[in-house]
Amino acid sequence: MRIDGRQPDELRPVKIITPYSKHAEGSVWIEVGDTKVLCTATLEERVPPFMKGQGKGWITAEYAMLPRATQTRNQRESVKGKLSGRTMEIQRLIGRALRSVVDLEKLGERTITLDCDVIQADGGTRTTSITGAFVAMTLAIHKLCKEKPLAVFPVRDFLASVSVGVVAGVPMLDLKYEEDSSAKVDMNVVMTGSGKFVELQGTGEEAPFSREELDRLLGLGELGVNRMIELQKEALGPVAELIGSDKARC
C-alpha cells in the first residue's frame, strides 16, 4: 500500500480545466493530486531566426516553478539571473515531446510557445506539464484553424506523460513527492496515442536497474499514459476528433 493509499499502478486524481486564461490562445489548468500546473499556449505569426524561410512552424516550451510551489522556498531564477540546469532540461524535454506529434509544415511559419508554470509541486511536475501542454497546444491550434483554415489539422497523434519508479523495491506509477524522493529508480515516459515512445528518461543514480525492472516500468508507463490520454480526450471534447484525422474542418 502506498503512502496515500493508492495501488502501485494507480494514478492520483486528475483535473483538467480548460480554457483557464483570459488572454492566451490555449490554456489548461491541470492538477494531478496536489501538483498544479498552469499551461498556456501563445501563438505568434513568426518563427525564430534559425527557422526562417523553411515554410515550417516551431513549437517551444518554457517551464518554471513559483518560489513557494515547494515545501521550502526556492529562489527565483530571475533573481539568480539564470536558469538552472534542471529547468533547461525540463523545458527542452517538453518542447521536443510536443514537436514529435505535430506536422510543423502543416502548421506553417508560426511559433507556439507553451508556458508551463508550476503553481504547486508534489512530484511529477514535468510529466504533468507535458500532459497539460499538449491540450493547451491543441486548443491554440484549433483556434488558429477556425480563424485561418488549415488544409490538415497538424496534430498527428495524442501525447501524454507519466512518471514511474522503483520505490521500496516496488515498481510504481505516478510518484508523489515523498515517493520520488526515496525512489531508487526514476523514469519519465512520454508516449503517443498509438503506443509509441517519444521520450524515455530513466535514471538509477541510487541503484542501477535490471532489464527486467525496466520492462515492468515500461508497462506501468504505458498504462498511465493511456489513462491520461483518455482524460485529455474528455477535456478536448469534439476537438479531440481532429487529432490524427484527415478532417481539418475546425
Give the binding site for a second copy (CB under 8 A).
21-24, 27, 34, 38, 40, 42, 44, 62, 64, 66-71, 73, 76-89, 91-92, 96, 99-101, 113, 115, 117, 119-120, 122, 157, 187, 191-192, 194-211, 214, 218
- Residue appearing with cell numbers 499538449: 134
**C-beta of 7 vs 129, nearer to a second copy:** 129
Phi and psi at residue 179, in whole multiples of 5°?
-70, -45
At residue 29, φ and ψ (nearest 5 deg) are -105, 115
What is the residue type of 226?
Answer: N
Q: How far is the CB of 83 from a second copy (least distance, A)?
A: 6
Q: Is 197 left (phi over 0), alpha (psi -120 to 50) or beta?
A: beta
Helix (H) or strand (E) holding 180: helix 177-182
Torsion of CA 73, 10, 133, 244, to 10 degrees: 170
The 8-class DSSP code of residue 102 comes to B
Give min distance, CB of 182 to a second copy, in A.
16
Nearest residue (CB) to a second copy, 197 versus 238 = 197
**By C-beta, is 48 or 238 nearer to a second copy?**
48
In this complex, which beta carbon is closest to a second copy, that of residue 89 or of residue 234? 89
CB of 24 to a second copy, least distance (A): 5
Q: Which residue number, 68 or 234, has a Cβ lying nearer to a second copy?
A: 68
159 neighbors 130 (Cβ within 8 angstroms): yes
CB of 222 to a second copy, least distance (A): 8
> What is the CA 84 to chain-centroid distance, rounded?
19
End-to-end CA distance of the chain: 46
